[in-house]
Amino acid sequence: MFDSEDDCQIQQENEIMAIKAIYEQDFTYTENSIKAPRFRGVLSIKISLPQEDLIFFTGERNASSDPPLKVRYLPPVKIIFAMPNDYPNQKALKFELECLWMRWDWLRKLERKLLQIWEEKKEVVLDYFAEFIQYEALDYLQITFPLRLNDDYIGGSMLKTIIHTYNQQAMNQDFANDHFNCGICLEEKRGERCFQLRTCQHVFCQECLSEYFIMLIREGFILQIKCPDPGCKSQHKLSADEVSEIVGPEMGKRYSDLLEKQKLETDPLVTYCPRIICQAPVKKDSNFEKLCICTKCRFAFCWFCQRTWHGASTPCHLDNTKKIVEEYMNADESTKAIMELRYGAKNLEKLVRDATAELETDKWVKSNTQPCPQCETPIEKSMGCNHMVCTRCETHFCYLCGHWIDSKEPYKHFNDSKSPCNQRLFDGVNVDDFDIPDDFVIV
């Protein structure tokens, strides 16, 4: 003898209430009290793996060298059902299965198995169906990992993208529902109030991490924005997107600006436009030694002296450069580090090398040459007497004292008893190696 239709409706109502309480947002249904079937709905059953595993995708858009997808959660199997009036006592639940990543033959085989479960139970079966799909379906269908799937278009998106997005959302939900001990305030917090750093996976409460990073950004200590865990081995620099997610868009933008500024300041090929109304960063063209052209205002200037472009052959006005070099050479290590951030370490190294070479050159010139009294060209004496003739302007002068000499009577200077160079024409020279001029008289 069969139970009445009223009994079936009571069982259906109880089943709907139980499934709603257990699966919450994963269960939706509609009720029609006038027309059968009374209840229709969709129950989504999450498929979770014991551990993260790999899925390889094949298809025209996936090369054999493309990396596999590493997932812990797969998009759900959906039970789309309708309850006949005499379900469950006389008739089975009407249903079909949908799943984005399962093959058609897998779904049909699984439907036959679920129908067999109703035949055995002859009672409300939605919960039995859900448990079987969740815990036994992969083994029953002999689905093993690494899994290979064809990367087809589904609803305008690629299957690989759909699975990746779903897995990330499911893991985020797991994280939000879990509890963690913050390494900063040392209090236990629910995951929805925490943040997990992407590279090292260390977890801190959002409030502590945000306040700590905002303080570092305001002080300009962006190099210290990394995992606060003292035992963290990664010590990686956080990306601008990750920092912005922690501190908010306003402070995130400041962090990005400081990162860009630091990058420009440490780049030896970057300077700034010297025009006060511009001051845009300018990257030096490797084809030119000194010439820079601002990409923003098109101002042409010298990379070394920061003045209007004066041509490659015209020397720079080096007063400011010399001051910077002296300050750097006399600075302590911390001040040097600051100057290297401002001017670029390679720039300063080159300026120091150039200044040192210039100093050595000046010393050598002063020790080994005598400037022409007319044009000031340094003249080196490699041999001969101390009567010199400038190779540039042909002025006659004394190599010992640097004074001008009358070209008509060049040796009078060396025979003048009042001259400091009297009788010193051959000072520093082996006289035996040279012919003494006929007009030179030794008194």
pLDDT tens readout for residues 356-409: 888 888 888 888 888 888 888 888 887 788 888 888 888 899 988 888 888 888
Determine the pLDDT at residue 343.
58
Query: What's the rounded Cα separation, in Å, for the pair 395 and 373?
Result: 8
Determine the pLDDT at residue 40.
94
Looking at 273, 385, 390, 421, which residue is catalytic?
385
For residues 170-187, average pLDDT: 89
Residues 129 and 35 in one domain: yes
Q: How confident is the model at residue 142 (pLDDT cuts 50, 70, 90)?
A: very high
Query: Is there a contact between 17 and 106 (Cβ–Cβ < 8 Å)?
Result: no
Query: What's the rounded Cα separation, in Å, for the pair 129 and 47?
Result: 13
Residues 79 and 148 in one domain: yes
Residues 342 and 428 in one domain: no
**Average of per-residue pLDDT values in the chain:** 84
Q: How confident is the model at residue 443 (pLDDT cuts 50, 70, 90)?
A: very low
DSSP strand pairing (147-150 vs 39-58): parallel
For residues 271-288, average pLDDT: 84
Contacts of 417 (CB under 8 A, 6+ apart): none
Residues 295 and 391 in one domain: no
Query: What's the rounded Cα separation, in Å, for the pair 334 and 340?
Result: 10
Query: What's the rounded Cα separation, in Å, for the pair 137 and 158?
Result: 24
Smallest Cα–Cα separation from 196: which of 215, 211, 178?
178
> DSSP secondary structure string, 300-335?
EEETTT-SBP--SSSPP--HHHHHHHHHHHTS-HHH
Smallest Cα–Cα separation from 315: which of 305, 325, 324, 323?
305
Query: Is there a contact between 402 and 421 (Cβ–Cβ < 8 Å)?
Result: no
Residues 10 and 134 in one domain: yes
Residue 148 lies in a domain: yes
Q: How confident is the model at residue 433 (pLDDT cuts 50, 70, 90)?
A: low
Residue 52 lies in a domain: yes
Query: What's the rounded Cα separation, in Å, for the pair 287 and 80?
Result: 69
Last residue in a domain, options 142, 166, 190? 166
Q: How confident is the model at residue 337 (pLDDT cuts 50, 70, 90)?
A: confident
For residues 101-113, average pLDDT: 94
Contacts of 228 (CB under 8 A, 6+ apart): 183, 184, 202, 204, 209, 212
Contacts of 268 (CB under 8 A, 6+ apart): 344, 345, 346, 347, 350
Residue 416 lies in a domain: yes
Query: What's the rounded Cα separation, in Å, for the pair 433 and 23?
Result: 113
Q: How confident is the model at residue 61 (pLDDT cuts 50, 70, 90)?
A: low
- What CATH number corresponds to the domain at position 67? 3.10.110.10
Q: Which residues of 191-223 are buried (b: 16+ CB within 10 A; e: fewer)?
A: beebbebeeeebbbbeebbbebbbebbeeeebe
Residue 404 lies in a domain: yes
Residues 83 and 143 in one domain: yes
- Two tokens, residue 10: 């009571």
24-47 pLDDT per residue, tens: 899 999 988 777 788 999 999 988
Residues 160 and 22 in one domain: yes
Residues 83 and 222 in one domain: no
Helices marked H in 79-191:
104-121, 126-135, 137-140, 159-177
Answer whether residue 1 shows pLDDT above 50.
no
Query: Is there a contact between 207 and 215 (Cβ–Cβ < 8 Å)?
Result: no
- Two tokens, residue 342: 């401002």
Residue 234 lies in a domain: yes
Residues 11 and 147 in one domain: yes
Answer whether residue 434 shows pLDDT above 60.
no
Residue 171 lies in a domain: no
Query: What's the rounded Cα separation, in Å, for the pair 261 and 146?
Result: 45
Instruction: Indicate if 385 belongs to the active site.
Output: yes
- Two tokens, residue 46: 């999450």
293-306 pLDDT per residue, tens: 998 999 999 877 78
Q: How many structural domains comprise the chain?
A: 5
Residues 228 and 299 in one domain: no
Can you list the positions of beta strands (E) in 183-280?
A: 188-190, 194-196, 203-205, 270-272
- Two tokens, residue 407: 């070209």
Determine the pLDDT at residue 43.
97
> DSSP secondary structure string, 266-300?
H-TTEEE---TTT--EEEPPTT-SSEEE-TTT--E
Residues 442 and 356 in one domain: no
Which residue range(s) make up the domain with 411? 372-443
Query: Is there a contact between 147 and 133 (Cβ–Cβ < 8 Å)?
Result: no
DSSP strand pairing (194-196 vs 188-190): unpaired
Query: Is there a contact between 86 and 5 (Cβ–Cβ < 8 Å)?
Result: yes
Residue 173 lies in a domain: no
Residue 63 lies in a domain: yes
Residues 345 and 432 in one domain: no
For residues 172-194, average pLDDT: 90
The angle that helices 249-266 and 333-343 make with each other, rounded to 10 degrees, is 100
